[in-house]
């Protein structure tokens, strides 16, 4: 990834300031290059997240052509699309423990290296057999499983408490941006160079990122020469070790159960969109592969804008005295219920333009949920975010396996996507109800 591009995303990932606030007024320490090093760390995690999702969704576009090439049924394609999440699920909680033990820098760097290598090997595996392709996708899922826990471990060291909610939102912004790049780029690559190009082209930036990452980032601000004295003093509050973690008390309490349920519900709709949007526009509205990729990309711009805007609104309301618990519930429940209503409306849409508008609205609603459950993990366990994320995302990965595969089965059985959208809406409503009743933002452990 070119350094200039990393600097650009660094600008995007800075905490958002209002018009009346300047850097001087906030007294933010900066490096010699003019940017606080902690913002550079957040920027690189944003790029890693974007890379993960380009490598994750390129197969959603390529699979349309791969199904025609290999003669897969919709159910077989669903198995290919869901295989990634098997490895992702099995290693997620372990990944949280590994990141907490070895440090976010080392673990994240090795993770990007691993999933980029398996992306590069995907076409070869597909040519060998369906089983080999599924195995390669499972291995890629293992590589990506530790990304978010590793980022949370770094945030515990690099991001002061007052900036963590927005830092989390900026990092998660890599999901829609990576998806947007992956879908649009894959559509063009498949149309002009064939489906294998979608994997080769997106593996290379990840390998380049790894080289820059290990040269540019330190695991702890105390050992980074790029950190100014003022910034080191600001980050000293994050350097205290976490409390001895009572796993049973933390992971099986009501607030964490609420987070995991909401995470599960939001991911059910998110993974449906990630895996099936190109096929939906191709099958339901008769678009070409290239146009299906373009149509599928637009909702992710809505997700990017809504997730960042909702994060700013949430933080501003908390600063004005609204309780953290109230804001987390408001953002999460409003987003999930709105997404459910929109998914039900999509079932009766006849034109691709109307379907696109509703998909954009549903994606924006999902973006609001990112101001609910992701910062909630830091609310309840500020210094144990890697473990909480690994635990929660273990359950939230199940939709990637079950939901994506069930969607393919429902499309095969019913011949439409209506039943799949109705099921996703029901899961969203259930998640909103559980989070609304059970979540409390009070700190449980360090």
Residue in 198, 262, 245, 169 with CA at minimum distance from that of residue 62: 198
Residues in the chain: 446
pLDDT at 380 (0 to 100):
85
Residue 443 maps to a domain: no
pTM above 0.85, yes or no: no
pLDDT at 290 (0 to 100):
66
Residue 316 maps to a domain: yes
Residue 77 maps to a domain: yes
**Burial of residue 216 (number of CB atoms within 10 Å: 0-12, 13-18, 19+):** middle
Give CA angle at 167 (21, 307), nearest 5°. 90
Q: Please, which residues have CB within 8 angstroms of residue 23's CB and are 6 or more apart in sequence?
A: 17, 30
Task: Determine the distance from the C-alpha atom of residue 75 to the mean position of all C-alpha atoms in its chain, rounded to a whole number.
Answer: 25
DSSP string, 353-414: HHHHHHHHHHHHHHHHHTTTHHHHHHHH-TT-HHHHHHHHHHHHTHIIIIIHHHHHHHHHHH
Residue 220 is given by DSSP the state: S
pLDDT at 281 (0 to 100):
77
Taking CA atoms, 361 is separated from 70, 264, 266, 367, in Å, by 35, 20, 15, 10
Give CA angle at 158 (149, 140), nearest 5°. 25
Positive or negative, the CA dihedral 14, 314, 357, 272 is positive
CA atoms within 13 A on the CB side of 65: 23
Q: In the structure encoding, which two tokens stand for residue 32, read together?
A: 């010699």
In the chain, how many domains are there? 1
Q: In the structure encoding, which two tokens stand for residue 383, read together?
A: 């210094």
Residue 184 maps to a domain: yes
pLDDT at 219 (0 to 100):
87
Q: Tell me how far apart the alpha carbons of residues 420 and 387 are, in angstroms, rounded to a whole number.
A: 32
Residue 191 maps to a domain: yes
What is the chain's pLDDT, residue by residue, as a tens digit (446 residues)?
433 344 334 434 343 333 333 333 334 444 444 688 888 999 999 999 999 999 988 888 888 888 888 888 777 887 888 788 788 888 888 888 888 888 889 999 999 999 999 999 999 999 998 899 999 999 999 999 999 999 988 888 888 767 777 888 889 999 889 888 887 888 889 889 999 999 999 999 999 999 999 999 988 888 888 888 888 877 776 655 555 556 677 778 899 999 999 999 999 998 887 777 777 777 777 677 667 666 767 888 888 999 988 988 888 888 888 898 999 999 999 999 999 999 999 887 778 888 888 889 999 999 999 989 998 988 888 777 888 898 998 888 888 778 878 888 888 888 888 888 899 999 999 999 999 999 998 888 66
Residue in 167, 154, 147, 130 with CA at minimum distance from that of residue 54: 147
Q: In the structure encoding, which two tokens stand for residue 249, read together?
A: 């008390």
In CATH, what number is assigned to the domain containing residue 175? 1.20.1250.20
Other C-beta atoms closer than 10 Å to the C-beta of 44 total 26
Residue 445 maps to a domain: no
Domain enclosing residue 196, as ranges: 3-438
pLDDT at 258 (0 to 100):
96
Residue 161 maps to a domain: yes
**E strand spans, 189-258:** none
Residue in 81, 178, 87 with CA at minimum distance from that of residue 126: 81
Residue 134 maps to a domain: yes
pLDDT at 122 (0 to 100):
93
Q: In the structure encoding, which two tokens stand for residue 117, read together?
A: 């290598």
Residue in 293, 396, 272, 413 with CA at minimum distance from that of residue 343: 272
């Amino acid at each position: 990834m070119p350094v200039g591009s990393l600097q650009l995303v660094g600008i995007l990932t800075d905490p958002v300031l209002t018009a009346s606030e300047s850097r001087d007024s906030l007294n933010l320490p900066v490096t010699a290059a003019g940017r606080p090093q902690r913002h550079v760390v957040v920027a690189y995690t944003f790029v890693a997240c974007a890379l993960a999702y380009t490598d994750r969704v390129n197969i959603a576009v390529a699979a349309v052509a791969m199904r025609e090439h290999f003669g897969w049924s919709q159910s077989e394609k669903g198995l290919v699309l869901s295989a990634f999440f098997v490895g992702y699920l099995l290693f997620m909680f372990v990944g949280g423990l590994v990141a907490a033990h070895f440090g976010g820098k080392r673990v994240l760097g090795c993770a990007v290296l691993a999933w980029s290598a398996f992306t590069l090997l995907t076409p070869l595996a597909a040519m060998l057999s369906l089983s080999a392709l599924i195995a390669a996708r499972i291995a890629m899922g293992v590589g990506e499983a530790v990304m978010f826990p590793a980022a949370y471990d770094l945030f515990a060291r690099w991001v002061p408490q007052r900036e963590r909610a927005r830092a989390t939102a900026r990092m998660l912004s890599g999901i829609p941006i990576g998806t947007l790049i992956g879908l649009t780029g894959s559509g063009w690559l498949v149309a002009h160079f064939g489906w294998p190009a979608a994997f080769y082209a997106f593996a290379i930036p990840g390998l380049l990122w790894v080289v820059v990452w290990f040269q540019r980032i330190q695991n702890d601000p105390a050992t980074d020469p790029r950190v100014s004295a003022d910034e080191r003093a600001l980050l000293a509050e994050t350097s205290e070790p976490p409390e001895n973690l009572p796993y049973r008390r933390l992971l099986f309490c009501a607030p964490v159960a609420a987070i995991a349920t909401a995470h599960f519900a939001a991911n059910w709709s998110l993974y449906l969109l990630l895996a099936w949007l190109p096929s939906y526009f191709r099958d339901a509205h008769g678009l070409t592969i290239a146009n299906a990729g373009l149509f599928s990309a637009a909702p992710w711009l809505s997700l990017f804008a809504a997730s960042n805007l909702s994060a700013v609104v949430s933080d501003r309301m908390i600063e004005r005295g609204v309780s953290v618990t109230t804001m987390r519930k408001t953002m999460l429940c409003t987003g999930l219920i709105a997404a459910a209503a929109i998914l039900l409306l999509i079932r009766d849409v006849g034109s691709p333009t109307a379907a696109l508008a509703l998909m954009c609205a549903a994606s924006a609603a999902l973006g609001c949920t990112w101001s609910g459950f992701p910062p909630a993990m830091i609310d309840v366990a500020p210094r144990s975010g890697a473990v909480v994320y690994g635990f929660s995302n273990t359950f939230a990965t199940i939709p990637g396996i079950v939901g994506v595969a069930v969607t393919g089965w429902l499309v095969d059985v019913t011949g439409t996507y209506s039943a799949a959208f109705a099921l996703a809406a029901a899961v969203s409503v259930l998640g909103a109800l559980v989070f609304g009743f059970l979540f409390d933002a009070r700190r449980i452990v360090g």
